[in-house]
Structure 1
Amino acid sequence: MKEFHSFGWYAARIAPHLPKQAFKPVPSRLFGGLAYFLIIIASFVTIIFFDTNIWINLLLSFILGSSFAGMGFLGHEILHGTVVRKPWLRDLLGAIAFWPLTTGPKLWRKWHNLTHHVHTQDEENDPDAWPSMQKFKESRLMRWMYRVPFWIRAIASFASLAVTFTLHSMKMFTVYVKEFNPKKQPSVWLEAVLPWATWIGLLVWIGFGKWFFAFLLPLLIANFIVMAYISTNHRLNPLVPVNDPLANSLTVTTPKWVDVLHFNFSYHTEHHLFPGMSPKFYPLVKEQIKQKWPERYHEMPFGKALVALFITPRVYYKDKEFIDPHKGNLFGSLGNGMNPKNLSIKKSKLKLR
């Protein structure tokens, strides 16, 4: 891709071709959240009050983890203002939806809406962007990690998806809490502490055995599902000097029933073009993009995107390629040589120092 355009440039050319209702909130999306809420309550009651065997508990943990993730996707939608517009109601519903993932609405809007969306794939300003060779050289921990054989790193990286969202959320709290107005900081702290107080209180009440199946294992499962999407949203794309969603974002394709369960979270390029639009209308946005800029648009089956993520390193070389510094192997990024059907490797003279 030789030139970049801002998300506003694309949006201005697509918006006239979309129905007016696409730009209005869709409160009916809350019915999906209600369904997840009832499933969570029913699963909690079964685990806590019945002596079910381990296989039933494992099944319920998977159902809970999937529901936690689904609530998180809806919370993301709510806090973009696409479900309800009243700030107090938006934050209340967003807090409930993110409660299982223990992330407060004020922190999320600061970290995600106001920073990540504004500076997507900017190494310095996007809190979710992966580092370049320069930052790699400055990090003793990363230099040590990249001495580990690639296949061990790849497996460990995928396993870490089960904790990454929770840990990154905690890190973002420490980064951004001090940037809030001092008068608002107590509420930001309260939003961070209350969910954990709830889950730790549940532990004290029901004991570790039941708590493991009711919360801890579901949290790990939810982390993995959420991070499987987040990791493919941008981590196969280049770092960019302009916030161009067609260059810095990837839409993954999933079966229709998965899109229903996950509130169309797979349409990520579309989301970065219209973050204030309900994902219900993202298929219409996708049609417009593919009509106007088919050569710029990046989409990939979800499974292939995860495979591509698994076999490529996460250090950027000159913004457009990925490098394994220890071996000197180079991989192209999306739009810069990456072919999902044939992920080729170029040899480089760069070595870990």
Structure 2
Amino acid sequence: MKLTNSQKLIPQGTYAKKLRPFLPDEAFLRDPMKLVILFINLTILLLGWMIGSHLDSWPIHLLWLYLPIAIIMGNSVIVLLFSSHDLMHGSVIRNARLTQFISLLGLSMLWMPPTLWKSIHNRVHHNQTNALGDPDRNYLYEQPKTWGKWIHNVVVPSVEVNPLWLTVGMSTAWGVHLFRNLTSVLLFNRENVDYVPSAFTVSAKDRRVIFGEFLVIFLLHLSILAYLQFNPVKLIFSYFLPIWMGYAGLMFYIYTNHLICPMTKVNDPLLNSVSIRVPKIFDRLHLNFSYHTEHHLFPGMNSDYYPLVQELLKIHYPESFNLLDAGEAWHLLLTTPRHYKDENTLIDWSGENSVPCPLNNLIDKEAVKTAR
């Protein structure tokens, strides 16, 4: 597929250069307090497992009392990803080795080696957002119908998704995303791997580090399972349930980030990214991750200041800025196909039904110009 919209797009750096003078210098200082948040949520998980280790002595009719604890633990899984995300973007501390070690702890519940995250997210996704080379984009219709593309079609929210499989996918799609990219790098490390949306490569050194970090994560999870004595009741309530709920929560954010946007050759965050409105309590809990366009404009910024960036976008780019209520973004996901026919068109698995990308404001602007 050849992208043809580059002449209409504005690079991320152009936006950043224009908006930077309106932002205070402290917005770009590191915020070590985010480490406190990360370790608080690690502690919550540890306490949850300590309580969960006694579930075999609870009467069956009282096991439901553990559900609030599981929900809190699930939220901690979400916060661990988002706090580690900020940490690895360099907005928390300066020390690289300490960042790598803490990120390994923070991303362990996501089974994500930090060196892999650094490659897939920081290096590739942020530089090629929703472009052909972005491993986080929708599959192209013209790509082979591999097992990876089939799972994407079955579980990702779309106009054709089965509600049952969507429910299953909310708790498992993160694992599929990790498995696809981890195996692509560790087993092949080639750019022609066809079961990922877009394959990328890493250096031989990083490949070894990724394997070592994944082995550490595997041993950490094995230790948790052993601590819970591989007891089915303990595992279901205090291990699987919190992780599944956490994955579902973070996938809600991740699905809305880019999947209803057009593909772009030039990295234009106002076209290829979406910010959503959520209740303020979730912004407080989840480190303003809903401000996603703002993050793509200033990846290394203290996330506390993303609301200020949003206000600037409303002033300077009111017609281009994709800001939706969370419910509206989810509705658009459920009423559109999930594969790209071309950079501006979404199409279903069969190739029979296609619609324009709902957030392609460039198309809207051209239509206005034509009408005039």
Alpha-carbon spacing, 1:33–1:183, altered in 2? closer, same or farther (3 Å): closer
Q: Which residue of 2 aligns with 1:274?
A: 298
Shift of 1:159: 2.9
Matched, 1:199 2:229: no
Q: Which residue of 2 aligns with 1:90?
A: 99
The one-letter amino acid of 1:330's match is: S
Matched, 1:297 2:302: no
Alpha-carbon spacing, 1:112–1:49, altered in 2? closer, same or farther (3 Å): same
Secondary structure, aligned partner of 2:301:
coil
Secondary structure, aligned partner of 1:160:
helix
Q: TM-score, normalised on structure 2?
A: 0.83
Secondary structure, aligned partner of 2:142:
helix
- Give the percent of matched residue pairs that are identical in Structure 1 and Structure 2: 29
Matched, 1:48 2:60: no
Unmatched 5+ residue regions in structure 1? 339-353
**Contact conserved, 2:154 with 2:166, CA < 8 A, in 1?**
no
Q: Which residue of 2 aligns with 1:347?
A: none
Q: Which residue of 1 aligns with 2:235?
A: 211
Secondary structure, aligned partner of 1:173:
helix
- For residues 313 and 34 of structure 2, what CA distance do their matches in structure 1 show? 25
Shift of 1:54: 1.8
Q: Which residue of 2 aligns with 1:11?
A: 16
Shift of 1:317: 2.4
Q: CA RMSD in A?
A: 2.5
Shift of 1:170: 2.2
Q: 1:188 aligns with which of 187, 200, 210?
A: 210
Q: 2:280 aligns with which of 250, 253, 256?
A: 256
Shift of 1:334: 3.7
Matched, 1:61 2:70: yes
Alpha-carbon spacing, 1:255–1:36, altered in 2? closer, same or farther (3 Å): same
- For residues 71 and 144 of structure 1, what CA distance do their matches in structure 2 show? 26
Q: Which residue of 2 aligns with 1:224?
A: 248
Aligned positions, number: 335
Shift of 1:57: 2.6
**Contact conserved, 1:147 with 1:326, CA < 8 A, in 2?**
no
Q: Deviations over 1:149-185 (max 9, x none)?
A: 9655455235312111122112222233444443443
Shift of 1:70: 1.0
Q: 2:145 aligns with which of 139, 147, 150?
A: 139
Q: TM-score, normalised on structure 1?
A: 0.87
**Contact conserved, 1:110 with 1:176, CA < 8 A, in 2?**
no
Shift of 1:266: 0.4
- For residues 276 and 236 of structure 1, what CA distance do their matches in structure 2 show? 25
Alpha-carbon spacing, 1:21–1:193, altered in 2? closer, same or farther (3 Å): same
- For residues 175 and 146 of structure 1, what CA distance do their matches in structure 2 show? 19
Per mean C-alpha deviation after superposition, the further-off stretch among 156-165 and 11-20 is: 156-165
The one-letter amino acid of 1:200's match is: L
Shift of 1:271: 0.5
